[in-house]
Amino acid sequence: MKIAQQHVTLVHRYPVWAGDNADMTRILTVLERESEALLPVHIEAKTARSRRELERVDSMIDRLMTDIDGRGDFARPSEGARLERYQAAREDAVRRIDEEKSEAAGAALLSLAIQDRGGRRVFNGDAESCVTYLVGREYDSISVEAPAFDVPEHQVSLTADKERGMHLRVFSTDDRWATATMTYLQKEAGGGSPWWGFMRSTPFLLASYVIALAFILYNIGDFIAKVTTDTGTFPQAVGTYVWMLWSVLVLAGSLLGVRLTQAWIRAFEVVPDGSRPRGRMVVAWFAGAAAAIALSVVANVVTDALRG
């Protein structure tokens, strides 16, 4: 009868994460460190069968030697042959255990998977080599599994997508281990969660584009009306069509702007050390646009006041 084991799964999401290679290395180093701590568990599991075989052979050797010692006599030819077979089996079990220990101890700590237009690529290694493998590559998403070897009781993963941000997940049968690991990960990953991340959200972008385009198109329409009509305003019938066209252009332009901006500001981005993520450039653009609109409004108010 199998005994049910309790387990805990902790998940943390960063809607927008942007950092450099050093930031990503620090996060993966946490995964690497926790993987190293699980190596003894992996080694024990890999050598379990050979160790059981060694215990069985040792038990047979002990029983045979007890029988021989109990008689106070030398080993008989048949017993001598059996003892040689047992000792050979023991040497073979010890050799297998050493080989399995060596193989398990040299297992890759992290498994990095990259999804790009060419398909899925997998790379196994340590934190630094995984980040080096990412440098200069274009990808849609990545995932890092730790440890790369099989320890079903403990798993840590990082998944990141340029559309959905970064997710951290810790699974374990040990509640304290899971909590501590997630705490370490959040400490290192928190620095990559930018204050301007909200600017990638659809509500913010949609409102910003609606305001900007409405202001721009209104001023264009007002200018055309003043140039082409004596009264400076469109006739009611024309004005209705202009308003409808204005509304369609504002909505379509805003939706297109949201899509293009979100494609430009990636929800997950790793840049070379010392470089700035794309999001900061967009922040500068929005700040400039807001300042231009504000100055234009003030200028119009001042001009109307002087004319009045």
Distance CA 178, CA 6 (A): 12
Tokens of 35: 């993987």
- Map out the domains of the chain as residue ranges: 1-191, 197-307
Residue 154's CB: how many other CB atoms inside 10 A? 21
Q: What is each CA distance from 285 to 187, 197, 252, in whole angstroms?
A: 31, 15, 20
Supply the Cα-derived Rg of the chain in whole angstroms.
Answer: 34
Short-list 194, 201, 219, 221, CA closest to 297: 219
At 179 the pLDDT is 92
pLDDT tens string, the chain, 308 residues long: the values are 444 567 889 999 999 898 888 899 999 999 998 888 888 888 888 888 988 998 998 888 888 888 777 666 656 777 778 888 888 888 998 999 888 888 877 777 899 999 988 889 999 888 999 999 988 788 889 999 988 877 878 889 999 998 889 999 999 988 898 999 999 999 999 877 787 777 778 888 788 778 877 777 777 777 676 666 656 565 655 556 667 777 777 788 778 877 877 777 788 888 877 777 777 666 666 666 666 666 766 666 566 566 55
The predicted pLDDT at position 1 comes to 43
Angle subtended by helix axes 278-307 and 202-228, to nearest 10: 40
pLDDT at position 264 is 75
- pTM for this entry: 0.70
